[in-house]
Structure 1
Amino acid sequence: MCITNCTKQLMLHVITGVGGYSYLYEPLWWVGMITMVVGEVANFVAYAFAPAILVTPLGALSIIISAVLAHVMLREKLHIFGILGCVLCVVGSTTIVLHAPQERQIESVTEVWGLATEPAFMCYVGVVLAIVALLVFKFVPLYGQTHVMVYIGVCSLVGSISVMSVKALGIALKLTFSGTNQLIYPQTWAFSMVVISCIITQMNYLNKALDTFNTAVVSPIYYTMFTSLTILASVIMFKDWDRQNPTQIVTEMCGVVTIFSGTFLLHKTKDMADGTTFFLFLRW
Structure 2
Amino acid sequence: MFETNLIGLGLAVGSSAFIGSSFIIKKKGLQRAGASGSRASSGGYGYLQEPLWWIGMFTMVIGEFANFVAYMYAPAVLVTPLGALSIIVSAILAHFLLREKLRKLGILGCVLCIVGSTIIVLHAPGEHNISSVDQIWDLATQPAFLLYIASAVAVVLVLVLYCEPRYGQTNIMVYIGVCSIIGSVTVMSIKAVGIAIKLTLEGYSQVAHFQSWIFAMVSASCIITQLIYLNKLGLYTGFRHI
Shorter-chain TM band: 0.7 to 0.9
- 5+ residue gaps, structure 2: 1-18
| Matched residue SS, 1:56 | helix
CA distance in 2, matches of 1:201, 1:102: 31
Mapped partners of 1:131, 1:84: distance in 2? 29
Aligned residue identity for 1:205 = Y
Alpha-carbon displacement from aligned partner over 1:92-150 (angstroms, at most 9, x marks no partner): 32222211111121111010011100000000011111112222222222222222222
Residues 129/66 of structure 1: CA separation in 2 closer, same or farther (3 Å cut): closer
Distance 1:19 1:212, change over 3 A: farther
Counterpart contact for 2:27–2:53, Cα < 8 Å = no
Residues 216 and 43 of structure 1: is their aligned pair in 2 closer, same or farther, counting only changes over 3 Å? farther
What letter is aligned with 1:64? I
**Aligned counterparts, 1:214-233, within 5 A:** none
Q: Which residue of 2 aligns with 1:49?
A: 73
Query: What are the superposed Cα offsets for residues 127-177 of structure 1, whole Å, 9 maximum, x if unpaired?
Result: 111112222222222222222222222222122111111100000001111
Structure 1, unmatched stretches of 5+, are 218-267, 269-284
SS at match of 2:83: helix
Aligned to 1:107: 131
> Structure 1 residues 77, 160: closer, same or farther in 2, change over 3 A?
closer
Aligned to 2:24: 6
CA distance in 2 between partners of 1:144 and 1:76 (Å): 22
**TM-score, reference length from structure 1:** 0.67
- 1:36 maps to a residue whose letter is M
Amino acid at match of 1:113: W
Report deviation, 1:74: 6.1
Structure 1 residue 23 corresponds to structure 2 residue 44: no
Change (3 A) 1:127 1:36: same
TM-score by length of 2: 0.78
**Is the contact between residue 19 and residue 212 of structure 1 (CA under 8 Å) also seen in structure 2?**
no
Residues 30-51 of structure 1: CA deviation (Å, up to 9, x unaligned): 1111100110001111122222
- Number of residue pairs the alignment of both structures matches: 218
C-alpha RMSD of matched pairs (Å)? 2.7
Contact 1:152–1:209 (Cα < 8 Å) also in 2: yes
Structure scoring higher RCO (CA < 8 A, sep ≥ 6) equals: 1
Using the aligned pairs only, state the percent identity: 57
